[in-house]
Amino acid sequence: MFSFPEGLRFQISGPIDDFVNWLLVNLGGFFDAITRFILTIFNAIEVTLNIIPWWLMVIALFYAGYKLYSLKMGIALSAMLLSIGFFGLWDMMLYTLAIVIISVLVSLVLGLPLGIFMAKSDRTKRIVMPILDAMQTMPSFVYLLPAVMLFGFGKVPAVFATTTYALPPLIRLTYLGISNVDKEVIEAGLSFGSTPKQMLMKIELPQALSTIMTGVNQTTMMAMAMVVISSMIGAEGIGEQVLISIRRLEVGQGFQAGLGIVFLAIILDRVLQGFANRLKETE
Amino acid sequence: MENKKIEIKDLTLVFGDKKEEALKMLEQGITIQEIREKTGTAVGVNDINIDINEGEMFVIVGLSGSGKSSLIRCMNMLNIPTKGQLLIDGEDITKYSKEQLMDLRRNKVAMVFQHFGLLSHRTVLKNVEYGLEVQGVSEEEITKKAMEAIELVGLKGWENYFPRQLSGGMKQRVGIARALTNEPEILLMDEPFGALDPLIRREMQSELLSMEDYMEKTIVFITHDMNEAFKLGDRIALLKDGELVQIGQPKDFFENPANDYVKSFIEDVDKSRVLRVRTVMRQPFTLARKGESREAVIKKLESFDREFCFVVDEDRKLLGYVAYKDLIKLDKSNINEAIVTDVESLHRNAYLHEVWGKLDKSNYDVAITDKAGRLRGVISYEDAVSALA
Ligand SMILES: Nc1ncnc2c1ncn2[C@@H]1O[C@H](COP(=O)(O)OP(=O)(O)OP(=O)(O)O)[C@@H](O)[C@H]1O
Ligand SMILES: [Mg+2]
């Protein structure tokens, strides 16, 4: 009487599974290529990060904080980085950082052209905008699903999920930055006979740079959030540490790892924000 | 007769989607307000015919929304006319290909904007260099030309500042310098001083005049301020609702206002303070050249029934005057020894009220010269009186 009748079923899970299988069979080479590509970049970035001595990173961060903000900020940021080391999370931090960096790089490669394209073509904008809206309302969890389906477990699906989750703000802000360039400045560019390429490179992109930088910052923050969640599909790094602690009910360990994530997020945010502010000043 | 630089023929510009419909309605004589309500299109320019001469300062004036910007933007095709032709040096630019248009914008026409349109991420120097940079001119050449332009507008020493560090007046100087580096033949200025406060504005006006004085560019200048229009313009076009109401020299507006609308426009303009000598002066009846024969000059003076005439050199530079009574006594074959160099002259940008001081002293014409000292025209007591009447 109160329960849904068992006879009334219309399930779409079957066709979806079929579709994914079909994808994997027919486009397997394509996904393999992506996997190899991501792994290559990941290794390159991880190797690079591991070559840099820890103390150099701390000093560099101190200097960045000092230059972009103040002496206090320099001290605070480098202290946060140091405590990540004290917590024994240094290597995991590098791993997490590597995934974030790849995701931001891929986002740049995809997001910049798409954002520019949206600003130039009304049609593209009308198609992409609702997709971005949908992507941004979807819970981050949902992104894990296609990642696992297409790439299985490990760092590759983690990069995939992180990138798709983090991409929208960069597209949106690139679009915003380009389409908000002062109309008279655009006209000035045209009136001197600039080619479309010159318009883009010499006028539109430089004028939109600080807005795009804000987009990079937001994308990085979203990537940070997602990379932690991606530990559920096999990404190592600090997120995994949290996950392990939850399973083992090690509250102290978990809290420490969580704090490490927060510190890393703050460091990235402050540094990128500082750059964005620098750019804004020139407007 | 002067050369026509820009010829605007039956030009109509409609904004919006239903252009054809709007054009038809215009032909039927339906008002643009009604067209706007019925079709949602805005008529910016309605069937305008104007010729702009080479080297003149042509001012387009009208209230806000009268179509001034719409019209001037057609002159470098930032707006694409819906109907009609726009000829520059006899070529219809509305038919230009992309490449030709780019060429036109790079070499012949430059624009100055109301809110300056400067690139905030570039220094003054880099802003001024922009027009040449897009053409791929060599680095040294660009910098050399840009520095010249910066010097010309009085911004030397400010090259490495950013626009945000400058005052409004200085920003517009950058805008003007940027437009000048390309050495355009035509300068389009859309309310360039509109955003400046009155004092700076007046200063910029006279600087523009003195610059124009020796550059001999064709300048199209837009303003909604009648005083500014009369001060600057050799000729003025008054627009209303996208249509041409009256066109002519400043004095024509005072002498023959086309209708009450024009009258209301010029009502509180003090003529003697805005009319410039250049717009009232006329060509001398006759002129003598240095080294010309005595007899020829005497003959000229007799045939025009003149007491004297001005003497110029090959470049039309004013040297002085010769009087009939001196010439008939002279026993040389040429006029050189009879030239009186102590001569009343006035710069062509002087206001009309400045003429009185000169005219009181002599019953002769006053010579009107430019910065280079060349004779541009003359003005007599009667000319001045009739202009102010
Ligand atoms: N891009 C555009 N799209 C639609 N309508 C426009 C556009 N530009 C101008 N118009 C309309 O064309 C008419 C003339 O505008 P225009 O800007 O040429 O006037 P203006 O004389 O330059 O005024 P102002 O002194 O305020 O600058 C106005 O009715 C305006 O609304
Ligand atoms: Mg305007």
> For A193-205, how does the pLDDT look when each residue is reduced to its tens digit (9 = 90+)?
999 999 999 999 9
Q: Are residues B70 and B16 in the same domain?
A: yes
Which of A184, A186, A191, A197 has the most B C-beta neighbours within 10 Å, making it the best mutation to test the interface with B? A191
For residue B91, pLDDT beyond 80: yes
Q: Are residues B253 and B339 in the same domain?
A: no
Q: Kindly state whether residue B137 falls inside one of the protein's structural domains.
A: no
Q: Which of B12, B68, B240 to mutate to test the pocket of ligand 1 (most atoms within 8 A of CB)?
A: B68
For residue B86, pLDDT beyond 80: yes
Question: What is the C-alpha separation between B133 and A30, in angstroms, rounded?
Answer: 43
| Contact indicator for A120, A179 with CB cutoff of 8 Å | no
| CB spacing of A191 vs B76 below 8 angstroms | yes
Domain of B27, CATH number, reads: 3.40.50.300
**In total, how many domains does chain B have?**
2
Q: Are residues B257 and B300 in the same domain?
A: no
Q: Kindly state whether residue B165 falls inside one of the protein's structural domains.
A: no
Identify the closest residue of chain B to A181 by CA–CA distance.
Answer: B119
Q: Kindly state whether residue B156 falls inside one of the protein's structural domains.
A: no
Supply the residue whose CA is at minimum distance from atom 1 of ligand 1: B15
Helix (H, G, I), strand (E, B) or coil at A6: coil
pTM for this model (two decimals): 0.82
Residue of A123, A122, A133, A225 lying closest to A171 (CA atoms)? A133
Q: Are residues B85 and B216 in the same domain?
A: yes
pLDDT of residue B361: 52
Q: Kindly state whether residue B163 falls inside one of the protein's structural domains.
A: no
At A227-268, the pLDDT tens digits run: 889 999 988 889 899 999 989 999 999 999 999 999 999 999
Identify the closest residue of chain B to A201 by CA–CA distance.
Answer: B134
Q: Are residues B200 and B332 in the same domain?
A: no
Q: Are residues B99 and B223 in the same domain?
A: yes
Give distance in angstroms: CA of B68 to centre of ligand 1: 8
Which range marks the domain in which residue B373 is found? 287-388
Q: Kindly state whether residue B254 falls inside one of the protein's structural domains.
A: yes
Q: Kindly state whether residue B38 falls inside one of the protein's structural domains.
A: yes
| CB spacing of A193 vs B105 below 8 angstroms | yes
Q: Are residues B77 and B218 in the same domain?
A: yes
Q: Taking CB atoms and an 8 Å cutoff, what residues of chain B touch A195? A: 102, 134
B167: closest CA of chain A, how far (Å): 15
| Sequential DSSP letters for A75-105 | HHHHHHHHHHHHTT-HHHHHHHHHHHHHHHH
Comparing A37-51, A158-172, B199-213, the range with the smallest average pLDDT is B199-213
Burial state string for A99-118 with b = 16 or more CB within 10 A and e = fewer than 16 = bbbbbbebbbeebbebbbbb
Q: Are residues B246 and B326 in the same domain?
A: no
Q: Taking CB atoms and an 8 Å cutoff, what residues of chain A touch B162? A: 282
Q: Kindly state whether residue B132 falls inside one of the protein's structural domains.
A: no
At B304-325, the pLDDT tens digits run: 888 888 999 988 899 988 988 8
Q: Which residues of B touch A (CB under 8 A)?
A: 73, 76, 78, 101-107, 109-111, 113-122, 130-131, 133-135, 162, 164, 178, 182, 188
Q: Are residues B229 and B313 in the same domain?
A: no
Q: Are residues B265 and B291 in the same domain?
A: no
| CB spacing of B117 vs A283 below 8 angstroms | no
Q: Are residues B254 and B374 in the same domain?
A: no
End-of-domain residue from the set B204, B235, B269: B269
On average, the pLDDT of chain B sits at 89
Question: What is the C-alpha separation between A115 and A109, in angstroms, rounded?
Answer: 11
pLDDT of residue A110: 95
Question: What is the C-alpha separation between A278 and A282, in angstroms, rounded?
Answer: 7
Question: What is the C-alpha separation between A269 and B273, in angstroms, rounded?
Answer: 62
Which of B120, B124, B142, B188 has the most A C-beta neighbours within 10 Å, making it the best mutation to test the interface with A? B120
Question: What is the C-alpha separation between B207 and B221, in angstroms, rounded?
Answer: 14
Helix (H, G, I), strand (E, B) or coil at A70: coil
At B105-136, the pLDDT tens digits run: 999 999 999 999 999 999 999 999 999 999 98
Q: Taking CB atoms and an 8 Å cutoff, what residues of chain B touch A185? A: 117-120
CB-count exposure of residue A197 (10 Å: 0-12, 13-18, 19+): exposed
pLDDT of residue B227: 87
At B147-159, the pLDDT tens digits run: 999 998 889 999 9
Joined together, the tokens standing for residue A237 give 């790094």
ipTM of the complex: 0.81
Q: Are residues B331 and B259 in the same domain?
A: no
Question: What is the C-alpha separation between B127 and B160, in angstroms, rounded?
Answer: 10
Joined together, the tokens standing for residue B191 give 């309310």
| CB spacing of B134 vs A207 below 8 angstroms | no
Q: Which residues of A touch B (CB under 8 A)?
A: 182, 184-185, 187-195, 198, 202-203, 206-207, 209, 282-283
Supply the residue whose CA is at minimum distance from atom 7 of ligand 1: B15
At B238-258, the pLDDT tens digits run: 999 999 999 999 888 888 888
Pocket residues: Cβ below 6 A from ligand 1:
B 15, 42, 44, 62, 64-70, 224
Q: Kindly state whether residue B140 falls inside one of the protein's structural domains.
A: no
**Number of CB atoms found within 10 A of residue A17's CB:** 11
Distance set, CA B95 to CA A37, A146, B82, B85, B108 (Å): 50, 54, 12, 9, 16
Query: What topology is assigned to A13-51+87-281 in CATH?
Result: MetI-like fold (1.10.3720)
Taking only Cα atoms into account, the Rg of chain A, rounded to an integer number of angstroms, comes to 22
Give distance in angstroms: CA of B66 to centre of ligand 1: 7
Identify the closest residue of chain A to B115 by CA–CA distance.
Answer: A184
Domain of B339, CATH number, reads: 3.10.580.10
Helix (H, G, I), strand (E, B) or coil at B314: coil
Joined together, the tokens standing for residue A109 give 């490669």
Joined together, the tokens standing for residue A196 give 């479309």
